[in-house]
């Protein structure tokens, strides 16, 4: 089954915009033609996006849950089904379900459940798991349960990596053994994010040289920027090798800070994430994040200590927020949630691009920047 998607605003890498037709076959983009074919000119289903934005599918590399589902509860490959369906409808065509700081066997159980899982029709694709903690700084726990925070232990993490499901890991680089862990994981195709940390610039540089390539929710769960002690934040913001995960919900970061990050890191370095929990897509109420009770009021999630605990943000809303916070054009912002995450995982241009050979993961945004249509691995989602 062939689909022809024509439009005047098809996003290309780096924020370029072209007019033309995407020819979609067998789940891939077979061609991008510079002409807008009319109905019947090329055999197949014809969709005209007109002046709406045609973007690569969004990719969330940091998400704990949605619609009542929590990654820590995933006990089988089907455990995330409702979340994967919800995300697909919001234009998120691939994601990394994210674990919490927890006992070793709890993390292992999630990794085993999700290892090698293949997406079903209508479901966002699991690209692997983001293991957030437990190897983080006890003084920067944030919403991670402090009782399970510990130092990297090769006997423990070797079993996690053996599952083949660890795609990204958040680690505090100042911990003893952290650099060995990063080198070990990078050899196995895992990316590393630095976060929940009080690392010095020297410790950040050593971790990046060992292979780490991003910062976990930049500004959150790390010391603020000090002009004589720039710390992890100063190092992350000024190192072009580091992608800056950014939670643009308006609560985790003041809009001016989001603007600051995009000015320093650009489209290529600003990596939009939601850090969402199971209340995303649901009303205010009492929920859980891993084993911790979390209270959602006015869409903002806090734990019993009153600290921000994850979010209810969706990635399409994050894109809209960043356009509002920064005044940047949509074509500069949308790649921060599609092309940039794909690059950060080493998956570009198979993911995060609308190029011949790319997976046909496509989201169409209307003039109000709302998701209007989603194509998932070549399949047109019927809403
Ligand atoms: Zn998180």
The CATH number of residue 263's host domain is 3.20.20.140
Q: Does residue 105 form part of some domain?
A: yes
24 and 172 part of one domain: no
Domains: count for the chain: 2
Could you tell me the distance, in angstroms and rounded to a whole number, from the CA of residue 10 to the centre of ligand 1? 32
161 and 34 part of one domain: no
Could you tell me the distance, in angstroms and rounded to a whole number, from the CA of residue 149 to the centre of ligand 1? 14
| Residues of the chain where predicted confidence (pLDDT) is lower than 70 | 383
139 and 20 part of one domain: no
Nearest to 93 by CA among 171, 137, 29, 172: 29
Could you tell me the distance, in angstroms and rounded to a whole number, from the CA of residue 222 to the centre of ligand 1? 13
* Neighbour count for residue 349 (Cβ, 10 Å): 18
Q: How many residues does the chain have?
A: 383
79 and 32 part of one domain: no
Q: What is the pTM of this model?
A: 0.98
Write out the residue range of the structural domain in which residue 35 sits: 2-54+357-380
Q: Does residue 352 form part of some domain?
A: no
Could you tell me the distance, in angstroms and rounded to a whole number, from the CA of residue 99 to the centre of ligand 1? 8
151 and 34 part of one domain: no
Q: Which residue of the set 60, 70, 275, 359 is catalytic?
A: 275
Could you tell me the distance, in angstroms and rounded to a whole number, from the CA of residue 286 to the centre of ligand 1? 18
The residues near 83 (Cβ < 8 Å, ≥ 6 apart) are 65, 66, 67, 69, 97, 124
Q: Does residue 19 form part of some domain?
A: yes
20 and 61 part of one domain: no
The CATH number of residue 29's host domain is 2.30.40.10
Could you tell me the distance, in angstroms and rounded to a whole number, from the CA of residue 12 to the centre of ligand 1? 30
260: which 2 tokens? 């600051």
Q: What does the pLDDT look like over 16-47, one tens digit per residue?
A: 999 999 999 999 999 999 999 999 999 999 99
**Is 240 among the residues known to form the active site?**
no
Q: Does residue 350 form part of some domain?
A: no
Q: What does the pLDDT look like over 184-203, one tens digit per residue?
A: 999 999 999 999 999 999 99
181 and 40 part of one domain: no
DSSP state of 311: B
Cα separation, 344 vs 342, whole angstroms: 5
Helix, strand and coil content of the chain, in percent to the nearest 5, comes to: 30, 30, 40
């Amino acid at each position: 089954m062939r689909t022809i998607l024509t439009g005047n605003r098809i996003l290309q890498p780096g924020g370029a915009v072209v007019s033309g037709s995407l020819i979609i076959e067998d789940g891939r983009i077979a061609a991008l033609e510079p002409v807008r074919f009319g109905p019947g000119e090329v055999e197949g289903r014809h969709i005209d996006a007109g002046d709406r934005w045609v973007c690569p599918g969004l990719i969330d590399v940091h998400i704990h849950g949605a619609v009542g589902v929590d990654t820590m509860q995933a006990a089988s490959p089907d455990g995330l089904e409702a979340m994967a369906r919800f995300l697909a409808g919001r234009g998120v065509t691939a994601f990394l379900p994210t674990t919490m700081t927890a006992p070793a066997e709890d993390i292992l159980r999630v990794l085993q459940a999700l290892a090698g899982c293949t997406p079903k029709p209508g479901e966002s694709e699991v690209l692997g798991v983001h293991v957030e903690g437990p190897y983080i700084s006890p003084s920067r726990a944030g919403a991670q349960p402090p009782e399970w925070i510990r130092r990297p232990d090769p006997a423990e993490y070797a079993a996690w990596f053996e599952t083949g499901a660890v795609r990204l890991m958040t680690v505090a680089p100042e911990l003893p053994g952290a650099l060995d862990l990063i080198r070990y994981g990078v050899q196995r195709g895992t990316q590393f994010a630095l976060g929940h940390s009080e690392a010095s610039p020297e410790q950040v540089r050593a971790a990046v040289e060992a292979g780490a390539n991003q910062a976990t929710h930049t500004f959150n769960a790390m010391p603020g920027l000090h002009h004589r002690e720039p710390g992890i934040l100063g190092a992350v913001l000024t190192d072009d090798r580091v992608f800056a995960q950014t939670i643009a919900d308006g609560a985790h970061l003041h809009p001016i800070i989001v603007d600051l990050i995009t000015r320093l890191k650009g489209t290529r370095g600003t990596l939009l994430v939601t850090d969402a929990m199971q209340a995303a897509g649901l009303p205010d109420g009492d929920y859980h994040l891993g084993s911790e009770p979390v209270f959602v009021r006015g869409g903002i999630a806090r734990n019993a200590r009153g600290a921000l605990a994850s979010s209810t943000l969706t990635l399409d809303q994050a894109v809209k927020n960043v356009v509002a916070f920064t005044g940047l054009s949509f074509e500069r912002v949308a790649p921060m949630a599609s092309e940039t995450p794909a690059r950060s995982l080493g998956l570009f241009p198979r993911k995060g691009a609308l190029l011949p050979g790319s997976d046909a993961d496509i989201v169409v945004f209307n003039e109000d920047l709302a998701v209007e249509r989603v194509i998932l691995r070549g399949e047109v989602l019927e809403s």
